[in-house]
Amino acid sequence: MLVVFPIGLWIFSFISDLIFLLGKHLLWNDIAFYTMLGGLIGALLATVPGLIDMFSITNPKVGEIAWNHMLLNLVALGVFGLNLYLRTVLEAGAFIPISLSVLGVLLLALSGWLGGELAYVHGVGVQPQGKNTEKDKTENKLRRAG
C-alpha cells in the first residue's frame, strides 16, 4: 500500500513540470520540487516491506521478476534523487530536470508492470484469498455447526 504515494507524487511532479512549462508560473515548479521530495521519502519508506516481500520469494522465476522490479525502482529512485538535486542548482524549467522527470516516469511504468505481475499474477505481498485463509476456514466451521 505504501507504493501508491511515491508513484502518485512522482507522476504529479511530472504533471506539475508540464503545467509550469505551459504557463511559467513558479508555483508549479515549486510544487514539482516538493512532490518529488515527498515521492523520494515515500519510496524510501516503501523499500522495507518491499525487501521483506522480495526475500520471502522461493520461486526462482518470480524471484527474477522481483530483482528486476527492485533494480528498476532503485534506478528510478536515483533518477528522481539526481533530478531533485539538479533543481536546487539549475534554473526553473531547465531541460535536464524535465528530461529526468520523463525518464523517471517511464521507469515507474516499467517497474509498475513488473510489480503488477508480482502482486496480481504471483500473489507476492498479497494476503491469500479463497478457501485457504483462516477466516474462511473459521466461517466454514461455523456454517457447518450452525
pLDDT one digit per residue (tens) for the chain, 146 residues: 788 999 999 999 999 999 999 998 999 999 999 999 999 999 999 999 889 888 989 999 999 999 999 999 999 999 999 999 999 999 999 999 999 999 999 999 999 999 999 988 988 877 666 655 555 555 555 555 55
Query: Angle CA(19)–CA(25)–CA(31) in degrees, nearest 5?
Result: 65
CA distance 16 to 22: 10
Whether residue 136 is contained in a domain is answered as no
- Asked if residue 76 lies in contact with residue 107, where contact means CB atoms within 8 angstroms, the answer is yes
Q: Please indicate, yes or no, if residue 78 is contained in any of the structural domains.
A: yes
Task: Cell numbers for 134, please give them.
Answer: 483462516
What does the pLDDT read at residue 53? 86
What's the domain count of the chain?
1
Residue 112 lies inside a defined structural domain of this protein: yes
Considering the domain boundaries, does residue 146 fall inside one?
no
Q: Which of 18, 56, 66, 16 is nearest to 36 (CA)?
A: 16
Has residue 142 been placed in a domain? no
What is the residue type of 95? F
**Residue 61: inside a domain:** yes
How far apart are alpha carbons 6 and 11 in whole angstroms? 8
In angstroms, how far is the first alpha carbon of the chain from the final one?
37
Measured at the CA of 104, the angle between CA 50 and CA 42, to 5 degrees, comes to 40
What pLDDT is attached to residue 140?
Answer: 52
pTM of the full structure:
0.82
Tell whether 143 is covered by a domain.
Answer: no
E strand map for the chain: none
Range(s) of the domain holding residue 32: 4-125
- The count of C-alpha atoms lying within 13 angstroms of the C-alpha of 47, restricted to the half-sphere facing its C-beta, is 13
Q: Residue 17: what pLDDT? A: 96
Q: Is 83 inside any structural domain?
A: yes
